[in-house]
Amino acid sequence: MRLHVVNPNTTASMTTKIAAAARAIALPDTSIDARQPAMGPVSIEGFYDEAFAVPGMLGCIRDADRDGADAHIIACFDDTGLDAARAIATAPVIGIGEAGFHMASLIAARFAVVTTLGVSIVPIEHNLKRYGLIERCARVRAAEVPVLALEERNTDALAKISAEITAAIRDDRAEVIVLGCAGMADLAAELAATHGLPVIDGVAAAVTLAESLVRLALKTSRLGPYAAPRSKTYAGPFSPFQP
């Protein structure tokens, strides 16, 4: 099967890291097609960045869908543009945040999320409420690490993330940690070994769930808000995106 993994920001090194994490967990007969938009922010840190990341990301979804992708994965923990992507894609679409939350809920009563910056806490909490999992989440914590700092291992990013995991175990009684950024994909195994509890990378979780949907021949239901958008004219620079 062919899985399309889209990094909604424009940082190529992060796309490479995400692709490596996806390929490391994928089944032998699964190919990973990793893409990023040509337009949008270099990182997504809060609602404003997210708004400008969506058009380019949707363009990647549209193109990969036409190229025959069996499923799509949105590799931003805020699940940027997930609903819109499900409306336009023929293949199923999974967000790494949603995947990480659901995977955690299968192996623990209480999980905590450790994300990058404090500005991301409320968007993640909003998603937890939407997915019906807010009561299972002990707390969403921020390590106060800019997203692009995760691209350089010589920073103190790992130490700050590790400190938040320690606090989540001690103060929040967390039994599982969900890493709240695709840029943390390469840290999960190391942090799990350090802290002695499961640490979930949303990219890996989304790949395994996407493979399951494809194997079960399950696609997005069109009986509701994910029905294909009606044809209409989009003006100005958005004209290439009109349905």
Q: How do residues 200-234 score in pLDDT, each as one tens digit?
A: 999 999 999 999 999 999 999 999 999 999 999 99
Largest CA distance in the chain: 54
Q: How many CB atoms lie within 10 A of CB 105?
A: 18
Residue 238: is it exposed, middle or buried by C-beta count within 10 angstroms (0-12/13-18/19+)? exposed
Q: What's the DSSP call for residue 183?
A: G
Residues 30 and 109 in one domain: no
Residues 136 and 216 in one domain: no
- pLDDT at 149 (0 to 100): 85
Whole-model pTM over 0.85: yes
Least confident of 23-32, 99-108, 117-126, 150-159: 150-159
pLDDT digits (tens, 9 = 90+) for 7-31: 999 999 999 999 999 999 999 999 9
Residues 10 and 83 in one domain: yes
Residues 80 and 105 in one domain: no
Integer angstrom CA distances of residue 64 from 24, 37, 42, 69, 113: 21, 12, 21, 6, 30
Cβ 44 vs Cβ 120: under 8 Å: no
Residues 90 and 22 in one domain: yes
Residues 110 and 136 in one domain: yes
Average pLDDT, stretch 172-192? 95
- pLDDT at 148 (0 to 100): 84
Tokens of 98: 């949603």
Residues 127 and 64 in one domain: no
Residues 190 and 160 in one domain: yes
**CATH number where 106 lies:** 3.40.50.12500
Cβ 106 vs Cβ 212: under 8 Å: no
Residues 103 and 196 in one domain: yes
Mean pLDDT of the chain: 95
pLDDT value at 5 more than 70: yes
Q: Report how many domains make up the chain.
A: 2
Domain limits at 178?
Answer: 98-201
pLDDT value at 153 more than 90: no
Residues 19 and 77 in one domain: yes
Percent of the chain with pLDDT over 70: 99
Residues 113 and 91 in one domain: no
Contacts of 153 (CB under 8 A, 6+ apart): none
- pLDDT at 59 (0 to 100): 96
Residues 49 and 168 in one domain: no
- pLDDT at 155 (0 to 100): 73
